[in-house]
Amino acid sequence: MSKPSPADPLILYGQAFGSRLLLGTSRYPSPRVMQQALRIAQPAMVTASLRRQGAVSAEASKNFWELLKEADIPVLPNTAGCHSPQEVITTSQMAREVFGTDWIKLELIGDDYTLQPDTLQLVQVADTLLKDGFKVLPYCTEDLVLCKRLVDVGCQAVMPWAAPIGTGKGPINPYAMRILRERLEVPMIIDAGLGLPSHACQVMEWGYDAVLLNTAVATATDPVAMADAFAKAVQAGRGAFLGGAMSEQQAAQPSTPVLGTPFWHQT
Amino acid sequence: MKVLVNRIAQEVAAGSSLQDLLQALDFKAPYAVARNLNFVPRGQYAATPLQEGDQIEVISPITGG
């Protein structure tokens, strides 16, 4: 379990986390590299999934399970690949039993090409899961009204994408993302679409509470170095948000005092 | 009778329970089970009789994003 920072913890459903970075566990070159990346980034949670035994060997699954236990980081199971509310609900219940956790990253896919969430059914499914006792972190778009409705049914945090999963494009709709941040007070985690530490830093500067990454770290040339860079970028962005940025100006203003400038008006 | 387990047809004796099936196919923990798209808690395997054409899913942890 990661140790909460007393100074500035991330609070989700009343639980304090000492990190504002959540990491996925897929696509690393090896389990060992993933372990090293987790060790250096110290994420608040790690995501995991469920697949048919047989399609995935029981041994591979067991090894991953042991690795998760060894990492001792809270697990956030996802419902990746679910296309119907019933699939999401059943997968969530199975995940709760297997992983022994009420946390669920709600993914309900509405379009296979973009992996865009099914925004028209997401709220109802979130409501059902919340009533079943889950701590729901819904993967959603940056649509303000969708996020408001998710909060209305009881989601204590939402997870808008920055761009489609795995694209690494960074925030593709900055205007909507900044408005969304201004309009909602619940913790918001940027989930999906980040490619660079500067993207993570940017959204944290805007006031987002955390970021969830996978591909950007796992498919980097050196995932361990990239995990470290993202962890630092998240901290830098958070620090900048708390520090309060200056207002942008149109005209130049000297930072060095003008009064007493040598040779002023002499020539 | 025939049931589908992870989309593969399996022949089971009439009157078999879900627990009988899981033991016969030697699934390894950890896993969770759904029958006809409904979750079956671990404690109910023995009390869940199988029916012809049941669709059983047995799923285990894997990496995810």
| Residue B34 to residues A87, A236, A246, B31, B55, Cα–Cα distance (Å) | 10, 44, 55, 10, 8
Q: Which amino acid is at A109?
A: I
Is 80 exceeded by the pLDDT of residue A1? no
Nearest to A56 among B30, B37, B60 (CB): B60
Contacts of B57 in chain A (CB under 8 A): 52
pLDDT in tens, A53-88: 988 888 888 899 999 999 999 999 999 999 999 999
Q: How far apart are CA B59 and CA A56, in angstroms?
A: 9
Q: How confident is the model at residue A6 (pLDDT cuts 50, 70, 90)?
A: low
Is 90 exceeded by the pLDDT of residue A2? no
Question: What does residue B31 show for φ and ψ, rounded to 5 degrees?
Answer: -155, 165
Please give the pLDDT value at position A265.
Answer: 81
Please give the pLDDT value at position A41.
Answer: 97
pLDDT in tens, A119-130: 999 999 999 999
Query: What predicted TM-score, i.e. pTM, was given to this entire model?
Result: 0.92
**DSSP of A191-247, one letter per residue?**
ES---SHHHHHHHHHTT--EEEESHHHHTSSSHHHHHHHHHHHHHHHHHHHHH-PPP
CB contact under 8 A, B6 and A54: yes
Q: What percent of chain A has pLDDT over 70?
A: 97
Chain center to CA of A27: 17
Please give the pLDDT value at position A134.
Answer: 98
Q: Search chain B and give the residue with CA nearest A64.
A: B62
Q: Is the dihedral of CA B15, B18, B20, B25 positive or negative?
A: positive
Q: What is the mean pLDDT of chain B?
A: 96
Query: Please, what is the Cα angle at A43 between A145 and A181, to 5 degrees?
Result: 25
Q: What is the mean pLDDT of chain A?
A: 95
Most B CBs within 10 Å: which of A53, A87, A104, as the mutation test of the B interface? A53
Question: What does residue A160 show for φ and ψ, rounded to 5 degrees?
Answer: -70, 150
Nearest to A64 among B7, B38, B63 (CB): B63
Q: How far apart are CA A16 and CA B43, in angstroms?
A: 32
pLDDT in tens, A134-149: 999 999 999 999 999 9
The residue that leads in pLDDT, A94 or A59, is: A94
Catalytic residue among A3, A69, A105, A135: A105
Q: How far apart are CA B61 and CA A124, in angstroms?
A: 26
Is 60 exceeded by the pLDDT of residue A3? no
Q: How confident is the model at residue A252 (pLDDT cuts 50, 70, 90)?
A: very high
Please give the pLDDT value at position A56.
Answer: 84
Give the minimum alpha-carbon distance from B42 to chain A in angstroms, rounded to a whole number. Answer: 8
CB contact under 8 A, B39 and A90: yes
CB contact under 8 A, A51 and B28: no
A232 is catalytic: no
Average pLDDT over residues A27-44: 96
ipTM of the complex in this document = 0.95
Is 70 exceeded by the pLDDT of residue A198? yes
Burial of A255 (0-12, 13-18, 19+ CB in 10 A): exposed
Please give the pLDDT value at position A55.
Answer: 87
Q: Which residue has the tokens 């761009």?
A: A163
Average pLDDT over residues A9-20: 97
CB contact under 8 A, A94 and B33: yes
Please give the pLDDT value at position A4.
Answer: 43
Q: Which residue has the tokens 């996925």?
A: A24
